[in-house]
Chains A and B, each alone.
Chain A
Amino acid sequence: MSATRRDLLLMTAAGAGVGMVFTPVPWKLLDDVSIWTQNWSWLPKHPRGEITITHTVCPLCPAGCGMKVRRVNEAPFAVSSTPGGALCARGFAGHQLPFHQSRLRTALHRGKAAPLAEALEDAAAAVERARRSGAVVAVLDQRPGRMVSVLYRQFLAGFPRAQYVTLPAPEEGTLRAVAELTGRPPRSLGYDFERSRTIFSVGAPLLDHWGAPGRLLRLWGAPERKIRFWHAASGNSRTAALSDRWMAIRPDSEHALVRGLISILIREHGAGAGLALPASLSAFPPEEAAARTGVPLAQIQELARELATARPAVAVGGGDPVAGPLPAATEQALSVLNALLGALGTPGGIVERRPVPQPTLPPGLPAETTLARAPARSIDVLIVDSASSGCAWPLELIQDKLAPDAVTIHLSAFRTAWTAQATWTLPVPAPFEAWEEIPETPGSRLASWSLAKPLFPMPEGAISPEAVLHRFGLPEDQTLDALLQAKAAAIEKAGRGVVRPLAEPDESSPVGEGLWDQLTEGAVWVDDPEPAPRPLRAAIPDLPDLPQVASTAQFPLLATPAGSRGGAGSMPSPPLASKLTRESHLEPAAGEVRVHPRTAESLGLKHRGRAVLATPKGETAVVVRTDPGMADGFVEVAIEGDRGAETLALFPVSRDGAWRWSPAQLRRA
């Protein structure tokens, strides 16, 4: 029997098969394929290289916390606090912000991409037209007190009609009211918490991310702490959880509580002796405060007793990063309360902050007006600076001040609800891509100054605010660098304060030559404290009563915006920070509302169920979370993420620029 061709082929294959076992083919393939499955080629590769450390300050909000940055090949990959500092959850992920998905890489014209050169030319032409026609040109600055703020004012000085408008940090709400009461300039006061014994916050999230977060957390977490924290607010915030006493007052009853306290302090504790007090202050019945706040009278009396006896005591209002300032009347009442507590200009109270030595500035710079005080429909051309205060503001607040057909020029590194509305948006460097100046922290009693270093090079296609101003007609010889150096020279000349290297804050040295180099290398200048605070004199005014926001049959609930610093506003949150908020619910997560389970039940809503939140100004889809810590009949609306600005727009803005409460309705979707 002879072998067929088929048999021969089979034999060849068999030979190859046997031979294969003695070659590397099967064994090597097995190994390589298994390695491939363990290290998929499309997985991102981490960088390799030398690790260096840079000390600088965080530019994300006015707190300017110290940060130690670990970098690989110059790119930052992780940050931590400097000794004695306390970065917030956002600060730890802030260096990822330049990569945010809403990062702007081109200019925008009415929300649509446009070439930068073209947008810059058109915007400059609009500014030039305004200069010639005498239209009102304004700059909106969320971080007044910087040298770039001075540059903006120098720019505005070149216009026949100009306004320098600020949206200062809300932490200073009560301080502004006290400044008015005592006739001090704005931003000249601070809290002397370190020497207080009782700190009473009215809706101020003192232990969330208020002011410089590390300052209050250090006081709160001090071993054998002497300071007692009282907190009055409707929301079950972290401050509520961490305070020694939390008075869960009814929504929108802050004013009544403060009036009640003033009345009890005068009637029962003889507060304000020696001051000329209008009779109406003690005429406010404490029972009404109890009725309106829903807190037993005895508890309000207990608080009044503690404020009167455990001194120094200080009352802090406002400062909520998304719920905005308290109504002006409430802040005024709080400033009167502080006067009655003897907290004005005394250790442990509200004290004067010495102004930073400033270089001599040319005369004729426009004065500062807060946005709420700017006349309605008065601005023809508005330039909005990119630096964020970390707080959210309703767009309505700005729109009300714009004349019909106004031109808005937004300097922004990100696409936001604001840039969607702007006539032109010019892409500026993101945080960490350019030098940023950090003047004193809101609420601090000592002036300070530091410079945040760029950790990334400025990207192609971005333009610095200074270059924009030069393009818009600011003389080229007026530069930010010159102003900053002049400020450093002025501080050197004054010889005040100490320089604390961020790497070793304990090794501070008195101010001497070379302050500029020390600051750029990574140090903070901190002013010397005044030996003893000067008492601040105040004429106590009559306080108007403030009507509460009324709920109606259609809108039976009261809603308030809730969120944390840096979570909303003119800058997005770092992606990791939003992720963790979304997944942990430590902070209100985007698109959610929180209500008491009873409220939810009465409305037929379930935990994690979908609902529609409606206010007189509109409605939005939300997800419900129930929380037994909430007051009944009260809705806390998260202002976070992409839809934050849209949701905040549901809250009506009162004439004095407050948007804390709105009647609302919540129904099943």
Chain B
Amino acid sequence: MAAQAKIPTPPPQKQRRYGMVIDLDRCTGCGACMTACAVENNVPSGPPEADERKGINLMRVFTVRERNSRRTAFIPILCMQCGDRTPCETVCPQQAVEVDPLTGIVEQMPQRCLGCRYCMAACPYQARTFNWWDPAWPAGMETTLNPGVAPRMRGVVEKCDLCHSRLHAAEDRAAAEGRRDLNPGEYVPACVEACPTQAIVFGDLADKASEVSRLAAQPESFRWLERLGTGPKVYYRTRRRWVRDLARQGGAAPNQEVTRG
């Protein structure tokens, strides 16, 4: 077609690999990240029956205690944004999970989801939650929902997508200036911004000059359950050896262990 000949093909966009480094020695377990996340992503407060198994948490701070001691660490767990052999993506029968080639973000499409929850079983980080109830807000409260995030329906799985609405807003702002690519720091997820001690550093791991790449490469940094080879893009760091050992074994203290779904 003649019309098609005119169609310009823009240059391919810059490949990014968004990731974060969470400094566990700075995490105070205050929960600000969890609330900020829930508010940002239109997570309803749910019925009273929603407990640690059935409640929706895109981000959850776990309390772990060293065995036979009173030492405590707080560990924020969110979607680890696995880059290799992403377990949830490979098991999804519905292609509702996808690793975005542009951003490296593991994306979950609630509208495509059948609710089989294979992905929840496959996720070694328990970073996925199931909508046991339709979202409901008290009368009038819909006016206070984030316009950038669609409410999810009952019967679908959801998880952290690194505050996609914030990425969208940052892209719009950049586009208003005629830019297609983002400058560093233009896009940060809500949890990163909420942390009162700046324990979370967020950025592009593909950019070797970024702070997040520099921190991720340090010997104090590690990833949760690295032996599984899932290639998470969420790094942790701590000077406390027992916390690092825990990451290798991959377990919370027995009384904090949570199974979902």
Given contacts A78-B39, A101-B138, A584-B61, contact A92 B52 (CB under 8 A): no
Q: Is the CB of A76 within 8 A of B144?
A: yes
Contact A579 B46 (CB under 8 A): yes
In whole angstroms, what is the CA distance A212 to B32 when docked? 14
Q: Would you call A46 an interface residue if the criterion is a C-beta within 8 Å of the partner chain's C-beta atoms? A: yes
Does B36 lie within 8 Å of A46, measured CB to CB? no
**Contact between chains at B111 and A39 (CB < 8 Å):** yes
Most buried by B among A39, A46, A585: A46
Complex Cα distance, B137 from A574, in Å, reads: 13
User: Any chain A CB within 8 A of the CB of B15?
Assistant: no
**How many contacts A-B (CB < 8 Å)?**
196
Residues on the A chain within 8 Å of B146, using CB:
46, 72, 77-78
B218 within 8 A of A: no
Residues on B with C-beta less than 8 A from A582 are 50-52, 55
In Å, the complex CA distance between A625 and B257 comes to 12
What's the Cα separation between A44 and B135 when bound, in Å?
Answer: 7
- Tell me which residues across on chain A come within 8 A of B45, comparing CB atoms: 575-576, 578-579
Which residues of the other chain, B, contact A40 by a CB distance below 8 angstroms? 134, 153
Stretch among B2-10, B22-30, B177-185 lining the A interface: B22-30
**Contact A87/B38 with A38-B111, A44-B151, A626-B255 known, Cβ cut-off 8 Å:** no
- Cβ–Cβ contact B35 & A584, under 8 A: no
Known: A46-B149, A90-B35, A584-B52. A607 touches B197 (CB 8 A): no
Contact assessment for A89 and B34 in the assembled complex, using a CB-CB cutoff below 8 Å: yes
Q: List B210-228 residues whose CB lies under 8 Å from chain A.
A: none
Please tell me if B65 contacts chain A, counting CB pairs below 8 Å: yes
Q: Which of A45, A72, A88, A236 contacts B32 (CB 8 A)?
A: A88
Q: Mark A21-52, 1 if CB is under 8 A from B, else 0.
A: 00000000000000000111011111111010
Flag whether B74 is at the interface (Cβ < 8 A). yes
Chain B residue nearest to A85 (CB atoms) is: B196
A93 contacts B72, C-beta separation under 8 Å: no
Identify which of A48, A89, A236 gathers the most chain B CB atoms within 10 Å of its CB. A89
Contact across chains for B198 and A576 when beta carbons are under 8 A apart: no
- Once bound together, how far apart are the Cα atoms of A86 and B33, in whole Å? 11
Q: Quick one: given A44-B142, A96-B141, A99-B140, are A213 and B60 in contact (CB under 8 Å)?
A: no
Give, as a whole number of angstroms, the nearest-CB distance from B70 to chain A: 5
Given A93-B35, A629-B70, also A45-B142 (CB < 8 A): yes
Contacts of B134 in A (CB 8 A): 40, 42-43
List, in ascending order, chain B residues with CB within 8 A of A568's CB: none
Does A182 make an interface contact (CB < 8 A)?
A: no
48-90 of chain A: CB within 8 A of chain B: 48-49, 51, 72-73, 75-81, 86-90
Q: A246, B28: Cβ atoms under 8 Å? A: no
List residues of chain B with CB within 8 A of the CB of A207: 28
Q: A214 to B141, alpha carbons, bound, how many Å? A: 29
Interface size for A (C-beta < 8 A) is 71
A503 within 8 Å of B (CB atoms): no
Interface residue? B31 (CB, 8 A):
yes
Tell me if A80 and B151 are in contact (CB < 8 A). no
A587 to B74, CA, bound (A): 12
Give the complex CA separation of A586 and B31 in angstroms. Answer: 7
How far apart are B47's CB and chain A's nearest CB, in angstroms?
10
Task: Give chain B residues whose Cβ lies under 8 Å from the Cβ of A578.
Answer: 45
Q: Are A242 and B28 in contact (CB under 8 A)?
A: yes
Which residues of chain B are within 8 angstroms of A241 by Cβ–Cβ distance? 29, 71-74
Q: Are A625 and B144 in contact (CB under 8 A)?
A: no
Given A78-B39, A579-B38, decide whether A629 and B72 contact each other with a Cβ distance below 8 A: yes
Residues on B with beta carbons closer than 8 Å to the beta carbon of A580: 31, 34-35, 38, 57
Query: What 0/1 readout, one digit per residue, does chain B (145-160) give for beta carbons within 8 Å of chain A?
Result: 1110111010000000
A577 at the interface (CB under 8 A from B): yes
Contact yes or no, B55 A75, CB < 8 A: no
How many angstroms from the CA of A80 to the CA of B142 in the assembled complex? 20
Closest A residue by C-beta to B195 = A86
B32 touches A92 (CB 8 A): yes
Beta-carbon contact of B57 and A51 below 8 Å = no
The residue on B at minimum CB distance from A50 is B147
Q: B63 at interface (Cβ–Cβ under 8 A)?
A: yes
30 contacts between A and B (CB under 8 A): A40-B134, A43-B135, A46-B42, A47-B142, A47-B143, A48-B147, A49-B147, A77-B145, A79-B39, A86-B197, A92-B39, A93-B39, A101-B138, A207-B28, A221-B26, A221-B198, A241-B74, A577-B35, A579-B46, A580-B57, A582-B52, A582-B55, A583-B50, A583-B55, A584-B52, A584-B60, A584-B61, A597-B255, A607-B255, A626-B255
Knowing that A87-B194, A607-B255 are A-B contacts, what are 11 other residue pairs whose CB atoms are under 8 Å apart, sorted by A's residue number?
Answer: A46-B151, A81-B194, A81-B196, A92-B39, A221-B28, A221-B196, A221-B198, A241-B71, A576-B35, A580-B31, A580-B38
A interface residues, Cβ below 8 angstroms from B: 38-40, 42-49, 51, 72-73, 75-81, 86-93, 95-96, 99-101, 207-209, 213-214, 217-218, 220-221, 236, 238, 240-242, 246, 248, 574-587, 597, 607, 625-629
| Shortest beta-carbon contacts, A-B, top 3 | A86-B196, A241-B72, A221-B197
